Amino acid sequence: MKITRIETVAHPSGLLLCRIHTAEGLIGCGETHYIPTAVAAVIHDWMAPRLLGADALAIEGHWRFLYERAANFGARGAELRALSAIDLALWDIKGRACGQPVWQLLGGRAQDGVRIYNSTGYGRGQTPEPGGTWPGYGRMGVPEPLNDYWNALHEPAAYARELLAEGIEGAKLWPFDFAAHKPNGSLFVSGADLETGMQPFRAMRAAAGNRLELILDGHGFFQLPMALRIAAAMREVNPLALEDVIRPDCVDTIRDFRERCGLPLAVSEMLTTVEDYRLVLQRQAADYVMIDPTWVGGITATARITDLAQAWNIPVMMHDCTGPLTLLAGIHVGVARANVAWQETVRMLLRLVYPELVTHLPAVKAGRIAAPEGPGLGAAWHDTLFKKTDTLRVSTR
C-alpha cells in the first residue's frame, strides 16, 4: 500500500485540507486548522520525503518518526498540525483498506455515539470585525440562520429553549470575550462587564432550569485574578465546566485556579503534546481533559491522551469549532473509548458549512452524535475542493 501522492489545499476558512493517494487507488483524507500555508510547507517540504513510496498502513512508525524528528527541534504548532492531517489521512486509508470505520480499528464500540453540547461558533459571511480573524476571537456577526454566537448573547432564553427542543443537553458560550478584547482586558474586568457577561448565563439557566448544562469558554484570555473573579460570578449558574478562562500556559497556575475557584475545569484544547496533558493530569489541574484531535497529532495522539486521562479516571471533551474531519476524528476516538463524555459541535457548521466540504456527516439524535458507519473516517473531501485552486500543493513520486 505505497503512498504515491500527497495533496494539500489551504482553504480560506483557515483549514488545511489534505489527501494521501496510494498506488492501489485508495485516497485518505485529513485536516487541520490554523496557519494552513505554514502547515502545507511542513508537509510538502519536510514530511513528504519520508512518506512518498512508503507503506501507508505503517501509521505508528510514521507517527513516531515524524514526531521525534520534529520534537527534537521543539515541535509544537505547525509540525503537530501537519502530523495531525497526515495521521487522519493514514487512518482513513487503513479503514478503507480494511472496510471498517476507524473506531472499529481503535478497539471497537465502547459507547453508542457521544453526547454533544452546542458551541456558539461564529457569524458567517458578514463584514469582518476588527481583529475578528485572530484565532480564538471569533466573529459575532449579524442575525442569520444558526448564528448561535448572536443568539446566545441577544436571545439567550429562546436559544436555550431551542436547544432543549432539539434534545441538546449542553451549551458553551463566551460572553466575557468582549471584556478581554478591551485594552488590558486580561488584567481587569469591571463589575459592569462582569454583569454583562453573566446576563446570558442567567437567562439560559432561568429558561432551561437544570435541563441544560452550561459551559464558559474564556479562550485563554484572563490572568489569575480576573479568572477567579469570573469564576466567582459563574458559581451562581452552576456550570458544567469552565474552559480556558485562565491562559493554559502554566500548569501550576491552572491547578491553583482549580483549587481556589471550586468549579470543574476543562483543560485544554490549547495544549498540543502528550507531555502537556501528562503534566496537567499529574498536577491534578483538570476535571475534564479537552482535546482538539487535529492539533495534538491526529487520531493516534488523541487516543493516547484519552487513555492517559482514563488512567487518572478523568473524562474527556473533544473540541471542534473548525472542520468536519476534526469532528469525525473526535467521534471515532469518542465511540471507541468509554471516558469521552462530550463532543463539541456547532449547529451552523454541522448543518450549513460542513456539507459544503465533505461527502457525509454523522447524524445527531437525542443529543448524541452517532458513530460514523462508513469505512475509514466515513467521509471524504468533495473532489471539487482539490480542483482549480491556486492554493493546491502536490507532492508526487
* Residue entry with cell 479562550: 219
Closest separation in Å from C-beta 121 to Mg ion: 11
- The secondary element (H helix, E strand) that includes residue 14 is none
Tell which residue, 354, 381, 343, has the closest CA to residue 92.
381
Q: Which listed range, 85-93, 181-189, 217-225, 228-236, lies at the site for Mg ion (CB under 5 A)?
A: 217-225
Please say which residue, 53 or 135, places its beta carbon nearer to Mg ion.
135
Task: Give the single-character DSSP code of 209.
Answer: G
Q: 322-361 mask for Mg ion (x: CB under 5 A)?
A: ----------------------------------------
Taking the alpha carbons of 77, 78, 83, 88 in that order, is the dihedral positive or negative? positive
Closest separation in Å from C-beta 290 to Mg ion: 7
- Rounded distance between C-alpha atoms, residue 138 and residue 181, angstroms: 11
Please say which residue, 21 or 219, places its beta carbon nearer to Mg ion.
219
Q: Are 342 and 351 in contact (CB under 8 A)?
A: no
Please say which residue, 193 or 217, places its beta carbon nearer to Mg ion.
217
Closest separation in Å from C-beta 32 to Mg ion: 16
Q: Which listed range, 140-148, 204-212, 214-222, 377-385, lies at the site for Mg ion (CB under 5 A)?
A: 214-222
Compute the half-sphere exposure of residue 199: CA atoms within 13 Å on the CB side of its CA: 12
Please say which residue, 26 or 317, places its beta carbon nearer to Mg ion.
317
Please say which residue, 87 or 269, places its beta carbon nearer to Mg ion.
269
Closest separation in Å from C-beta 136 to Mg ion: 7
Binding footprint of Mg ion, residue count (CB under 5 A): 1
- Rounded distance between C-alpha atoms, residue 52 and residue 322, angstroms: 28
Residue, CB closest to Mg ion? 217
Please say which residue, 92 or 217, places its beta carbon nearer to Mg ion.
217
Q: 172-211 mask for Mg ion (x: CB under 5 A)?
A: ----------------------------------------
Please say which residue, 217 or 276, places its beta carbon nearer to Mg ion.
217
| Interaction of residue 217 with Mg ion, rule CB under 5 A | yes
- Rounded distance between C-alpha atoms, residue 70 and residue 223, angstroms: 31
- Rounded distance between C-alpha atoms, residue 302 and residue 310, angstroms: 12
Tell which residue, 365, 119, 114, 364, has the closest CA to residue 241.
119
Residue 208 has a CB neighbour count (10 Å cut-off) of 20
* Residue entry with cell 489569575: 224
Residues of this chain that interact with Mg ion (CB under 5 A) are: 217
